[in-house]
Amino acid sequence: MTLSPTARSTLGRKPDRAATDPAELYALLDEGLVCHVGFVRDGAPVVLPTAYGRAGRTLFLHGSTGAGWLRTAELPCSVAVTHLDGIVHARAVMNFSMNYRSAVVHGTAHLVTDPDRKWEGLRAIVEHLTPGAWDHARRPNRRELAATALFALDLTEASVKRRSGPPSDDAPDVAADLAWAGVVPLRTVRDAPQPAPDLPEHHTLPEHLGAAADRPR
């Protein structure tokens, strides 16, 4: 299986930056924390940041049943996850760029009503934030499940794009030695966990959080 089976998920520009391996898509999604979901409301485009999770070739989105954009059974949408890896400084301002990895998924997200599937999806979203959290904290009760809408989006129609490495300058600009050129790397770090003010003092940091704090993401 390769990605990008349709015209809208096939890159028109710079196809050398495209990836077609689902494993790369999955790794990119698993590394992210927030996605941007785009949909159409009253004929106009809307983009919102939201949490997500993945299980196999399904992306899960969720939210309150009171959220306007989730009051539907089928949501045609586009979901993007982007990692910024660096700012690319070139000799010419028009060759400035970003080093990045991004995934854009197209499709229709479907409301999940099957209880087991809903449980699986919510678990995927929580575990995506911090692996180990689902087994550590209290799981959803009936009231919470009823107040939460879960949507599943198939990951077959997707494009992955990335840029890495030094700037791509024109030869005359390099020869003219006009300016500094290179990359300023970017990285997201998790700092030391801050206990809630009302957390009793006997608590030590649980194992799954100690590991998370050390993990560069």
Residue among 199, 201, 211, 214 that touches a second copy (CB under 8 A):
199
> Interaction with a second copy in 58-87: which residues (CB under 8 A)?
64, 66-68, 76-80, 82, 84, 87
Is the CB of residue 184 less than 8 Å from the CB of residue 89?
Answer: yes
Of 15-23, 44-52, 53-61, 109-117, which segment contacts a second copy by CB under 8 A? 44-52
Task: Show contacts with a second copy in window 1-30 (CB under 8 A).
Answer: 8, 12-13
How many residues are present in the chain? 217
Q: Give least dist CB 208 to a second copy, A.
A: 9
Choices 15-23, 53-61, 110-118, 183-191; region in contact with a second copy by CB under 8 A: 183-191
Q: Angle at the Cα of 40 (from 74 to 102), degrees rounded to 5? A: 90
∠ CA 167-169-173 to the nearest 5 degrees? 135
Taking CA atoms, 71 is separated from 25, 144, 170, in Å, by: 28, 17, 51
Among 136, 146, 164, 211, binds a second copy (CB under 8 A): 136
